[in-house]
Amino acid sequence: SARLGEDQPLFGLSVPYKGPGSGTRSLEQLVVDYAEEVTRRHPDGPLVLTAVSAGSIVALELARHLLAGGRVVRLVLFDASGPDSAAITPDRATRLAVHADRLRHDRLDYLTPRVVWQTQKLKRRWEQVQLRLRSGDAEELPDVLVNRQYVENNLQFLAEYDASPYPDDVLILKAADDA
């Protein structure tokens, strides 16, 4: 950021609701908290907000909030998914046909990483079960479960997100499907 100069300040925002006792916050509260922090660090002038993946929804709503306050805000989003992203996802039969074809051709080279991934997925599910069983005792949860709770809280408020059009241009950069 030093190379950009004082006329182009660059800073990152960390997640304020992470850790024992942080509780669940709404998307609206997160946006208000981020807006206060952005305004504290850069009280006036134009902004470029960037975000990755699900954080793009937070950035979109933060930009909308700052625009309402009179700020000029541009958005650059990386691997953002919108509310209709499921509509472009292939159906189960198509996905299974692709997997079967790859398995026929690549055999173990194709199968091994998927077995590893499924094993990791089962481990994450077990961690979620542990988290739910111990949810009343967040002070004693291991970091991995505290992080899992944070992710689940965010997924919950993102699932309830009701999108509306953004009044300005948005640049969205997506990785290729084969990346």
**d(C-alpha 8, C-alpha 23), whole Å:** 35
Q: Report if pTM > 0.75.
A: no
**What tokens appear for 40 in the block?**
């504290």
What's the confidence (pLDDT) of residue 179?
Answer: 46
**DSSP label of 14:** -
Continuous segment of H or E residues that includes residue 156: helix 143-159
What's the confidence (pLDDT) of residue 151?
Answer: 67
Helix (H, G, I), strand (E, B) or coil at 21: coil
What are the beta bridge partners of residue 135? Answer: none
What are the beta bridge partners of residue 78? Answer: 52, 173
Nearest 10 degrees: CA dihedral of 139, 144, 146, 152? -160
Q: Which residues contact 60 (CB under 8 A, 6 or more apart)?
A: 51, 75, 77, 166, 170
What's the confidence (pLDDT) of residue 140?
Answer: 58
What's the confidence (pLDDT) of residue 36?
Answer: 93
Q: Where are the alpha helices (DSSP H) in 74-142?
A: 92-106, 108-133
Helix (H, G, I), strand (E, B) or coil at 69: coil
Per-residue pLDDT tens listing for the chain (179 residues): 677 777 777 777 766 655 545 555 678 888 898 999 999 988 988 888 988 877 888 889 999 999 999 999 998 888 776 555 544 455 677 778 877 888 888 888 878 887 887 788 788 778 777 776 766 655 555 566 666 666 666 666 666 777 788 888 888 887 765 54
